[in-house]
């Protein structure tokens, strides 16, 4: 199975900050990497697929990059609605696997 | 509007069974592979199972293989998860999720998620 790790596990940031989250796969997954946002008590929301493509309706302040084993999610200017937990997930092969999540909260 | 609506969750004793349903609307259901993902209280996301658009191919996490069965009824636009021999560690919110590419045979990215249904396994 492909293991996914994320760093940091949590971070505190201020409104307007640029935030970067890192995701690493235990083996190469090309660009078969997705990012999700989840707020407390809510379902996950799909943000990015194919490592860098925005899902429909997702604002351009979110961006993704990477290929192979190392990936990043960047939020260019953090807004109050962006405080949430972010998960990466590989879909290169079954079983699909998620990273443990990065919680972004208010400084 | 594309929507997924799960139902069927509840409280069940260890060793018991439960069937979850996910009603889909707003898209051509039979053209898309579908999946179940769960989240234990206070924990991260765990993929459970997936099924092709035709229903001919199914995939399972090792943690549920042999106990859970995924299926679909394309005439009813509904996805199912039959859960048998339930254990305390199966306690979670169960989400159904739609894969984004029409006719995907290989794994694909999720684009739409349901709101989830809670399953509690306890005596």
Sorted by sequence, the CB contacts under 8 Å of residue B55 that are 6+ apart come out as: B71, B72, B74
Phi-psi region of A4 (alpha: psi -120 to 50; beta: other; left: phi over 0): beta
Q: Is A9 an 8 Å CB contact of chain B?
A: no
| A96: nearest CA partner in chain B | B47
**Which residues of chain A neighbour B107 with C-beta distances below 8 Å?**
32, 91-94, 96
Model pLDDT, residue B104: 78
Residue B61 CB coordination number (10 Å): 20
Model pLDDT, residue B118: 98
**Distance (Å) from the alpha carbon of B113 to chain A's nearest alpha carbon:** 7
**Distance (Å) from the alpha carbon of B84 to chain A's nearest alpha carbon:** 20
Residue contact A56–B50, C-beta within 8 A: no
Tens digits of residue pLDDT in B1-55 = 999 999 999 999 999 999 999 999 999 999 999 999 999 999 999 999 999 999 9
Model pLDDT, residue B11: 98
Model pLDDT, residue A107: 87
Residue contact A46–B61, C-beta within 8 A: no
Residue contact B50–A94, C-beta within 8 A: yes
DSSP E strand boundaries for chain A:
4-7, 10-13, 19-25, 33-38, 45-49, 53-54, 62-67, 70-75, 85-90, 97-98, 102-106
Chain centroid to Cα B22, Å, comes to: 7
**Per-window interface: A 41-100 vs B, CB < 8 A:** 42-46, 49-50, 55-56, 87, 89, 91-100
User: Largest Cα–Cα distance of chain A, in whole Å?
Assistant: 38
Model pLDDT, residue A52: 98
Pure H helices in B1-123: none
Model pLDDT, residue A106: 87
DSSP letter (8 states) at residue A96: P
For chain B, give percent helix, strand, coil, nearest 5. Answer: 5, 50, 45
Tens digits of residue pLDDT in B62-115 = 999 999 999 999 999 999 999 999 999 999 999 999 999 888 777 999 999 999
Instruction: Output the tens digit of pLDDT for each of chain A's 107 residues.
Output: 999 999 999 999 999 999 999 999 999 999 999 999 999 999 999 999 999 999 999 999 999 999 999 999 999 999 999 999 999 999 999 999 999 999 999 88
Residue contact B113–A43, C-beta within 8 A: yes
**Which residues of chain B neighbour A91 with C-beta distances below 8 Å?**
107-109
Q: Which helix (H) or strand (E) holds B37?
A: strand B34-39
Residue contact A43–B47, C-beta within 8 A: no
Are B21 and B9 in contact by the 8 Å Cβ rule? The answer is no
- In this complex, the residue of A87, A91, A94 whose CB is nearest that of residue B44 is A87
Model pLDDT, residue B106: 78
């Amino acid at each position: 199975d492909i293991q996914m790790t994320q760093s940091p596990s949590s971070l505190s940031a201020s409104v307007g900050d640029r935030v970067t989250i890192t995701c690493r796969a235990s083996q190469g997954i090309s660009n078969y990497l997705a990012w999700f946002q989840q707020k407390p008590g809510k379902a996950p929301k799909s943000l990015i697929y194919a490592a860098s493509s925005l899902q429909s309706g997702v604002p351009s302040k979110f961006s993704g990059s990477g290929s192979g084993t190392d990936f990043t999610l960047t939020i260019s200017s953090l807004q109050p609605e962006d405080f949430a937990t972010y998960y990466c997930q590989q879909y290169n092969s079954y079983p699909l696997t998620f990273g443990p999540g990065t919680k972004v909260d208010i400084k | 509007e594309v929507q997924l609506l799960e139902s069927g969750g509840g409280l069940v004793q260890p060793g018991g069974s439960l069937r979850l349903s996910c009603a889909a609307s707003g898209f051509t259901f039979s053209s898309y592979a579908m999946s179940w993902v769960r989240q234990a209280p206070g924990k991260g996301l765990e993929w459970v199972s997936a099924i092709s658009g035709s229903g001919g191919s199914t995939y399972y996490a090792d943690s549920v293989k042999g106990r859970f069965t995924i299926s679909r009824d394309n005439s009813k636009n509904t996805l199912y998860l039959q859960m048998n021999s339930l254990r305390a560690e199966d306690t979670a919110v169960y989400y159904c999720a739609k894969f984004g590419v029409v006719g995907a045979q290989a794994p694909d990215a999720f684009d739409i998620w349901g709101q989830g249904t809670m399953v509690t396994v306890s005596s």
